Chain A
Amino acid sequence: AQSVTQLDSQVPVFEEAPVELRCNYSSSVSVYLFWYVQYPNQGLQLLLKYLSGSTLVKGINGFEAEFNKSQTSFHLRKPSVHISDTAEYFCAVSGGTRGATNKLIFGTGTLLAVQP
């Protein structure tokens, strides 16, 4: 079975500071990894994903994440955050094959609170 752990439920940070949101996963098979963002009262929007290849993945809004197989981690980073980045961020994992079994297992989410 697959699982995702987001250790930080909330991360306060000042505007223009760097941030890292942590995500660890557990799986006995190859995986696809995702970060989604949820702005208040909205649905989930894909930030970035790792399927294969380069372990450093770049996404929208200046975010990037690095897949580390040995540490089973997929941490999300941004060098300089803006007030508008305030949102809930979800890490998710699915089986690493394209097809019908694209079930996503989500972490519990991390609230990024950017302060002026």
Chain B
Amino acid sequence: DAGVIQSPRHEVTEMGQEVTLRCKPISGHNSLFWYRQTMMRGLELLIYFNNNVPIDDSGMPEDRFSAKMPNASFSTLKIQPSEPRDSAVYFCASILTSGGTTQYFGPGTRLTVL
């Protein structure tokens, strides 16, 4: 079975540009999580969805960040406008809510904002 798929794997952009990160969860998983990893702050949960509905977005750093999950097989994390301090690795993870206990992580998107 395919794992969690993220695209792109690497993104380099200039400050002020819009960035869209994409995630496809494992088929059948109905909860999806977005994390950010930096040297300074480690792994932080940004937002998570259950059955396509955002449940907790308290980790989203500011209004420049937004996330959507239009259907069970796709989610996006958008940064507009991007800033150098947004440079990080962004991970997506999914879990089967009913009885599931393990989050499965994608390979991550390494974002560099110049």
Contact = CB atoms under 8 A, between A and B. Distances in A.
A28 to B, nearest CB: 19
Contacts of B33: 103-104
A99 B43 contact: no
A46 B56 CA distance: 23
Given A44-B91, A108-B42, A109-B42, A102 B105 contact: no
Main secondary structure of the interface of B (DSSP, over half): strand
Interface residues of B, number: 26
B102 A103 contact: no
A102 B100 contact: yes
B8 to A, nearest CB: 14
Contacts of A104: 33, 45, 103
B101 A45 contact: no
